[in-house]
Amino acid sequence: MAWVDSFLEYLKYERNYSSYTVKVYGDDLHMFETFFKELDSQLSWDSLDSDVIRQWMVRMMDEGQQPASVNRRLSSVRSFYRFLLKRGCVERDPARTVSGPKKKKTLPYFLRENEIDRLLDSTLFPDNYEGVRDHLILAVFYHTGIRVSELVGLNVADVYLEERTIKVLGKRNKQRVIPFGDELASFLNAYLEIRTEYLHGTDENAFFLNQRKKRIGVGQVQQMVRKNLALVTNIKKKSPHVLRHTFATSMLNHGADLESVKELLGHESLSTTEIYTHTTFEELKKVYKQAHPRA
């Protein structure tokens, strides 16, 4: 079996990466392989050097690809070489000394509290199944900070109303339990009542259902969120992830510690969560300038 194929099988079966993530790794590696074969048909994974990788990066930047995309593809190549080294397929790692382009730091988009209040105003939503469902989906994003993939993957058995917790399956199949409060509990109760009526006794484990009474899809949720965010905010980006950012920002603004927010979000590293401290500090500076007479 080819080295790339072996690596992708390792990611899928030993590291439990999702099919989508494995495909992205495969696409990145095949793109690089095509590039170095066009440079020199005699080149191979065990004979190319760091300069070839740098040439590939220059090509991508010249084509207008963003630093984040270039760095992600470089990361795929680095992971592949680490795999090859451990398996004894190569003697050196040409990617080890290659640095990626610097990414421009951007603060995450989030809603302000008055915008959240308007978003969750029940008068925006009809009393039918779709209206109650969409209202709840927005509330779940804001109250728990879960990812859209985690939300569509929810089953009825994952929601514990009595305990006020939701169990989600995150990245790399890692489970975590997220608490919630009385407001979300009341939204959940209202939804479960109308969901029972909507199903008419049919057996469906998915918590959120589409028009065909099957598990709702990521695309439908994204479209619904964009439509409703446009009613309450002018921020450029309007996606479920904005509500995840809003959850984290609200938690930190109201006294939560960084480690707790990290656990609630399901981040691997605290450094991933730290971006929200920059967001809250930017807010603090803005408030200071508005309020201080000599600012």
* pLDDT tens string 122-174: 788 999 999 999 999 999 999 999 999 999 999 999 999 999 999 999 888 88
Tell me the pLDDT band of 105, cut-offs 50, 70 and 90: low
Q: How confident is the model at residue 277 (pLDDT cuts 50, 70, 90)?
A: confident
Residues belonging to the active site: 147, 171, 241, 244, 267, 276
Record the pTM.
Answer: 0.64
The residues with which 159 forms a beta bridge, in sequence order, are: 166
Residue given tokens 């605290």 in the structure block: 270
Q: Which two tokens stand for residue 18?
A: 């999702």
Task: Give CA angle at 250 (245, 254), nearest 5°.
Answer: 150
How many angstroms separate the CA atoms of 69 and 64, rounded?
10
Across 226-251, average pLDDT: 94
What confidence score (pLDDT) does residue 268 get?
84
C-alpha–C-alpha distance, residues 180 and 167, integer Å: 11
User: What's the pLDDT at 283?
Assistant: 67
Helix (H) or strand (E) holding 159, with range, is strand 159-160
- Return the number of other C-beta atoms located less than 10 Å from residue 28's C-beta: 19
Percent of the chain with pLDDT strictly greater than 70? 94
Considering the segment(s) 113-291 as one domain, its CATH architecture is Orthogonal Bundle (1.10)
Measured between alpha carbons, how far is 224 from 138 in angstroms, rounded to an integer? Answer: 9
> Could you tell me where the beta strands, DSSP code E, fall in 39-129?
none
Q: Which of 37, 139, 40, 22 is nearest to 76 (CA)?
A: 22
CB within 8 Å of 2: residues ≥ 6 apart: none
Return the biggest CA–CA distance within the chain.
Answer: 70
Counting every residue, how long is the chain? 295
Same topology, domains 3-86 and 113-291? Answer is no
256 pLDDT more than 80? yes
Instruction: State the DSSP string of 116-131.
Output: HHHHT-GGGS-SSHHH
Top-level class of domain 3-86: mainly alpha
Distance separating alpha carbons of residues 259 and 261, to the nearest angstrom: 5
For 48, the token pair is 């190319």
- Rounded to an integer, the average pLDDT of 238-242 is 96
Given a contact cutoff of 8 angstroms between Cβ atoms, the answer to whether 178 and 145 are in contact is: yes
Span 262-287, average pLDDT: 78
Please name the helix (run of DSSP H) or strand (run of DSSP E) that holds residue 167, with its range, or none.
strand 165-169
Residue in this structure with the two tokens 């509330």, named with its chain if needed? 139
> In the structure, what pLDDT confidence band is assigned to residue 281 with cuts at 50, 70 and 90?
low
Q: For residue 179, what are the β-bridge partners?
A: 165
Q: Structural domain boundaries of the chain?
A: 3-86, 113-291
Task: Output the six-digit token pair for 69.
Answer: 């995309």
